[in-house]
Amino acid sequence: MLNFTQKERMLLEDQKKHEQVCVDKYNSYASQVQCPQLKALFQGYAQQEQQHLDSINQMINGQLPAMNQGSQQQQSAVPASKIQGAMANQSDAVLCNDMLMTEKYVSDTYNTAIFEFVDTNVRQALNHIQKEEQQHGEGIFNYMKNNGMYNPQ
């Protein structure tokens, strides 16, 4: 049974809220995007965010979650211009930008939380979730880059 300090419990409650926002956004955005590939990407990420939420809830309830290593699948991107028109591409780009910004924020909050936990196993579980958040950001970044929505210079 995991016992947390008041600060640790507060951090877990914050992460729980962040994960719920991610689940809700990915599910909502998956229904709004025009590109079938982006829809599948967002649906996959919504499922992983639900797993993160379930893991955080397990920790809040005093149990260390089992972490599935290597559950992340990266998807290659087909240029959006070959699938849809410019307006749909622009609409999808707005949603991608929002999710990339969200993933950056959530990953950063995990970074802060990890340093505040006493239990090494909890730190490792949070680090595992953080790595998946970073992979989501990378997947969105690559989709955007490959579809002319993001031009790193």
Contact 147, 77 (CB under 8 A): yes
Sequence spans of domains, the chain: 6-69+78-146
Find the mean pLDDT for residues 42-49: 98
The model's confidence at residue 83, banded by pLDDT at 50, 70 and 90, is very low
- pLDDT above 90 for 77: no
Contact 50, 100 (CB under 8 A): no
What does the DSSP 8-state code read for residue 84? Answer: S
CB crowding 105-131: b at 16 or more within 10 Å, else e: ebbebbeebbeebeeeebeebbebbbe
The model's confidence at residue 67, banded by pLDDT at 50, 70 and 90, is confident
- CATH number at 6-69+78-146: 1.20.1260.10
- pLDDT above 90 for 81: no
Per-residue confidence (pLDDT) for residue 84, from 0 to 100: 44
**Torsion region of 75: left, alpha or beta (phi above 0 gives left; psi -120 to 50 gives alpha):** beta
Digit-coded pLDDT (tens) for 103-148:
999 999 999 999 999 999 999 999 999 999 999 999 999 999 999 8
Can you tell me which residue has the tokens 């006493």?
Answer: 118
- d(CA 49, CA 18) in angstroms, rounded, equals 10
- d(CA 5, CA 3) in angstroms, rounded, equals 7
